[in-house]
Amino acid sequence: MSAQLLCSPRSRSRLSFSGLVVRFFWAVLFALSPLALAEDRYETRAEHDPNGIGTFYMGREIAHVMGHQAAGWLERPERQEEERTDLLIDALKLKPGDMVADIGAGTGYISEKMARRILPGGIVYGVDIQQEMLDLLARKMKLLRVDNVKGVLGTVTDPNLPAGTIDLIIMVDVYHEFDHPFEMTEKMAAALKPGGRLVFVEFRKEDPTVPIKEVHKMSEEQVKKEMAVIPTLEWAETIRTLPQQHIIIFRRK
């Protein structure tokens, strides 16, 4: 005799109700899971800027990552004049012994300049998700005899930095290319010491004369909006001394 015939109508009703409760429980559990929440953070649009990946975060389209094949652009002779990287390094107020992370370090153009300011005792962690870039970084540091820059292979969600150890994390024209900006920012904030600084250097979207593709620019308002969801960070200051970029600084509480 089947189980269905052995059960009374009332029993079958209770079993059906129990099944609905179980289904509801798992639906709620999934909706609250990190995977579901992560999926809800990002929006995919069919119509988008061809220089972007079609994924949007808080209304901003994420830009394509610059591949290692274009590494020469990072070392272009006119970069110093165009970006005034000397003013940038001065604005960071680095000191000997600082532990610094350069996210999206590429060939080490900025890493090398910071490394000299934090001697003796300081270290720059040059983080990149492309091993080819890290190879170029190591080659350049060896050529320049800079031995306090350490390459770190990160992922699109994690820079692989030790928690609570970093005095300053900088991203020079990099953050807008993160595939997973929320997850990366959470990890970067966790890597900072209390009082440590998270520094965004981005081409100013507010200025239409800046000759950079739109998805590779960021406004100060947008940066602040995206950092507002990270409870351990607070805005400290915005420095406007550079010709085309702003320096937007947050601190870990």
Per-residue pLDDT for 20 more than 80? no
Q: How far apart are CA 114 and CA 111, in angstroms?
A: 5
> CB-based burial of residue 251 (10 Å sphere; 0-12 exposed, 13-18 middle, 19+ buried)?
middle
Q: What is the pLDDT of residue 73?
A: 77
Whichever domain contains 119, its CATH number is 3.40.50.150
Question: Is 44 within a domain?
Answer: no
In a domain, 45, yes or no: no
User: Is residue 65 one of the residues assigned to a domain?
Assistant: no
Which amino acid, one-letter code, is at 131? Q
Residue 70 located in a structural domain: no
What are the φ and ψ backbone dihedral angles of 156, each rounded to 5 degrees? -75, -10
Q: What is the dihedral of CA 114, 120, 121, 124, to 10 degrees?
A: 10
> Residues 96, 176: one domain?
yes
Q: What is the pLDDT of residue 68?
A: 84
Average pLDDT over residues 135-153: 97
Same-domain pairing of 166 and 97: yes
pLDDT in tens, 25-81: 444 443 444 444 455 899 999 999 999 999 999 999 999 998 888 788 788 989 999
DSSP strand pairing (166-172 vs 192-204): parallel
| C-alpha torsion sign, points 154, 155, 160, 163 | positive
CB neighbour class for 71 (10 Å; exposed up to 12, middle 13-18, buried from 19)? middle
Span 78-91, average pLDDT: 96
Q: At residue 14, does pLDDT exceed 50?
A: no
Between residues 183 and 3, the one the model is more confident about: 183
In this structure, the answer to whether residues 131 and 221 fall within a common structural domain is yes
Facing residues of 245 across strands? 203
- At 38 the pLDDT is 55
Number of structural domains in the chain: 2
What pLDDT, on a 0 to 100 scale, did the predictor assign at position 30?
A: 38
- Tell me: do 107 and 13 sit in the same domain: no
pLDDT band at residue 247, thresholds of 50, 70 and 90? very high
Mean pLDDT of the chain: 88
Q: Does position 23 have pLDDT exceeding 70, yes or no?
A: no
Q: Give tens-digit pLDDT for 182-239.
A: 999 999 999 999 999 999 999 999 999 999 999 999 999 999 999 999 999 999 999 9
Residue-level pLDDT at 234: 98
Residues 23 and 94 in one domain: no
Q: Could you list the residue range(s) of the whole structural domain that residue 236 is in?
A: 82-252
On the question of pLDDT at 13 being above 50, the answer is no
- At CA 197, angle to CA 126 and CA 193, rounded to 5? 85
The answer to whether the CB of 198 falls within 8 A of the CB of 166 is no
Flag whether 132 is in a domain. yes
Q: Which of 182, 85, 69, 172 is nearest to 127 (CA)?
A: 172
Query: Are both 18 and 102 inside the same structural domain?
Result: no
Report d(CA 23, CA 17) in Å as an integer: 10
Residue 19 lies in a domain: yes
Co-location of 142 and 23 in the same domain: no
Same domain, 94 and 11: no
Task: Return the C-alpha torsion angle 111, 102, 173, 110, nearest 10.
Answer: -10
- Taking alpha carbons only, the member of 188, 137, 134, 139 closest to residue 161 is 188
163 domain-assigned:
yes
**Same domain assignment for residues 127 and 235:** yes
The average pLDDT across 21-28 equals 45
Residue 62 lies in a domain: no
Contact at 8 Å (CB) between 178 and 57?
no
Instruction: Using alpha carbons, list the distances in angstroms from residue 33 to 27, 38, 39, 55.
Output: 10, 9, 10, 21
Average pLDDT over residues 158-174: 98
Do 133 and 28 lie in a common domain? no
And the tokens for 180?
């997973």
| Residue 33 or residue 145, greater confidence | 145
Q: What pLDDT was estimated at residue 27?
A: 43
| pLDDT score, position 72 | 83
Q: Are 60 and 222 in contact (CB under 8 A)?
A: yes
Q: Are residues 19 and 87 in the same domain?
A: no
| Residues 247 and 130 occupy one common structural domain | yes
Which 3 state secondary structure label does DSSP give 129?
A: coil
* pTM for this predicted structure: 0.84
Element (H, E) at 201: strand 192-204
